[in-house]
Amino acid sequence: MAKNELTGAEDIRWDLSDLYQDFDDPACKADRTRVLEMAEEFSRDYRNRVTGLTPETFAKALDRYSEIVELIGKIGSFAYLTWTTNTEDPALGKAVQETNELSSEISQKTVFFSLEWLQLDEKTAKEWIESKELAFYRHYLESSRLHKPYTLEEKQEQVLSAKAVTGSRAWVRFFDETFGASRFQLDGEELTESEILSKFHEPDRQVRRKASEVFTEGLSEMKHPLTYVFNTLLADKYTDDRLRNYPHWLKARNLSNEISDESVQALVDSVTSRYSLVHRYYALKKKLLGLDEMMEYDRYAPVRKNREKVPWEEARSLVVGAYSDFHPEMGRIADRFFRENWIDAAMAPGKRGGAYSASTVPSVHPYVFMNYEGQVRDVQTLAHELGHGVHQYLSRKQGVLQADTPLTTAETASVFGEMLVFRKLLSSLERPEEKLALLTGKIDDSVATVFRQISMNRFEDRIHRARREEGELPTERFSELWMETQKPVYGDSVTLSENYHLWWSYIPHFLHTPGYVYAYAFGELLVLALYQEYQQAENGFNEKYLAMLEKGGSDWPDRLTADLGVDIQDGNFWNRGLEAIEEMIEEAENLLPSVKLPMK
């Protein structure tokens, strides 16, 4: 990166010392020994005794169980966060593997506790859940019983936990390290995955086209191992699902998300029925770009060339300012991430692509991971991940068993944070060209988050079904199913070239968290509905919103959102969000007569 392209984020590295100093830290070594001792003592004290406890003694057992979960979570968080900053370092990979093995060992020693709780008859379980002694753990206990029909005997659960270390977790790590080590040659530059993907946001179409070709060549060179990884993990999940008697491949994810199969199908049907909005938007964007034909590598092109870079400090000011305007406490918490070095934003060789916010454990605090290059979309990514971070920080009071929310509501704070920053930026602009450029960027994100994610859900559904019915799938079959599910979302508005056939193979969500992707669409549509409510609410919304974040995963998703005026069980709920996207497209169309085409 040239000197004049520096953003100030080049030295933004997190300080993980609130977890541990390093892997040789005596505290880290002591905790690894202590967590095993705690698990063994817990097993000696409670094995074969849970059903004979009282609500009071069961609450004490849950306190001890939480301490074990918290400690192994702290050890695991440190290993994973350290590894993602340099997936090419074998020592860090070794540390992750050792931590996975330790975590599996702890799970095997403590799994009896959950199983014995589920063995409790429904009448007694209900009485315990409603007791004052267990009030703090109420939702954890309620939601855990959803899994009762699909839980195996202890020995079987132990085997599945042990095998996951050398099975699914190992293959996911191999996938991540493969892309961490990958390099793509573009115009004499050697680029990482994150850097080559960022080229699709460049204003120069030739750069985008070349990046598409180079990226596809790289995927083609890796297609054999990537296809093998996909096949193996699809088969691994099928084995687990079959052993647990799940009725379909998505059932486990829906249970974890605390959402019914019917609600997920309603989401999918609502979004796929409005694919015409995508066609309408890309027809508009094609005019703005002055293109005769819109290609897949043009989808995220800026309609107007942005300034060189958004400096890191300016991004910080924008995000913290927008959060503070909404609620001072949100701004204060967000600013702590900067002041106390809870963010790793520097681009670096071997660093994992993408972005995330790691909740770690309630006794510490979240950390934000991203690759900041100074584009406006990076500012939005920062806003997104800090939304997660604020949510995770506030929900720590719910304890390790209830702090995290289901994926369906996990995206609420992140997408809402993006919306706050977007609206703050938009209100600061006066020229139609500037407003339209920012607006199209936001619509790009909404299209990607709602429509593209649901199209990926359709692909995921097809590959899970095909792997179970047809056996091992060749690369060409994956590509065929990919194109069959991607063409409808774009219609005639975007031409998908041969290059696009392999672009299923780099998407980590399919492997990291099967079934995840629809949660993005859920979160985006929920936030668009919430933002409408926020704009219409006379008072009190801001406080209610923070109260919802503080509740974390301590209640059902529909109850968490009900106080904010949104009923996610209403069959028309999805349409409120889809109508908001349509309104943004109309807003962009109305600005069209005020600008000169194509925009430059």
The 3 state secondary structure assigned to 282-324 is HHHHHHHHCCCCCEHHHCCCCCCCCCCCCCHHHHHHHHHHHHH
User: In the prediction, which pLDDT does 466 show?
Assistant: 98
Would the CA dihedral through 153, 154, 156, 157 be positive or negative? positive
DSSP conformational letter for 199: G
Q: Please confirm whether the linkage preceding 598 is cis (ω < 30° from 0).
A: yes
- Token representation of residue 330: 């949100």
Tell me which residue of 40, 36, 33, 252 sits closest to 160, measured CA to CA.
252
Return the half-sphere exposure (C-beta side, CA atoms, 13 A cut-off) of residue 352. 23
| 3-class DSSP state of 403 | coil
Pairing of strands 367-369, 184-186: unpaired
Backbone angles phi, psi at 598, to 5 degrees: -70, 155
Tell me which residue of 60, 539, 599, 585 sits closest to 284, measured CA to CA.
585
CATH (residue range 183-306+449-518):
1.10.1370.20
- Token representation of residue 552: 């974390």
| 3-class DSSP state of 341 | coil
Sequence letter at residue 85: T
Q: How far apart, in whole angstroms, are the C-alpha atoms of residue 230 and residue 354? A: 20
- Token representation of residue 132: 């004052």
Q: How far apart, in whole angstroms, are the C-alpha atoms of residue 271 and residue 265? A: 10
Q: How far apart, in whole angstroms, are the C-alpha atoms of residue 201 and residue 197? A: 8
Domains of the chain, residue spans: 16-166, 183-306+449-518
Residue 486 CA: distances (Å) to CA of 96, 275, 467, 503, 515: 35, 11, 19, 11, 17
Provide the residue-wise pLDDT of the chain in tens; the chain has 600 residues. 344 579 999 999 999 999 999 999 999 999 999 999 999 999 999 999 999 999 999 999 999 999 999 999 999 999 999 999 999 999 999 999 999 999 999 999 999 999 999 999 999 999 999 999 999 999 999 999 999 999 999 999 999 999 999 999 999 999 999 999 999 999 999 999 989 999 999 999 999 999 999 999 999 999 999 999 999 999 999 999 999 999 999 999 999 999 999 999 999 999 999 999 999 999 999 999 999 999 999 999 999 876 568 999 999 999 999 999 999 999 999 999 999 999 999 999 999 888 999 999 999 999 999 999 998 889 999 999 999 999 999 999 999 999 999 888 888 999 999 999 999 988 888 889 889 999 999 999 999 999 999 999 999 999 999 999 999 999 999 999 999 999 999 999 999 999 999 999 999 999 999 999 999 999 899 999 888 889 887 778 999 999 999 999 999 998 998 888 888 888 788 888 999 999 999 999 999 999 988 886
- Specify whether domain 16-166 bears CATH 3.90.380.10: no
- Token representation of residue 202: 């460049």
Q: How far apart, in whole angstroms, are the C-alpha atoms of residue 523 and residue 527? A: 6
Q: First vs last Cα of the chain: how many Å apart? A: 24
Q: How far apart, in whole angstroms, are the C-alpha atoms of residue 576 and residue 526? A: 9
Return the half-sphere exposure (C-beta side, CA atoms, 13 A cut-off) of residue 47. 12
User: In the prediction, which pLDDT does 306 show?
Assistant: 61
Q: How far apart, in whole angstroms, are the C-alpha atoms of residue 96 and residue 337? A: 25
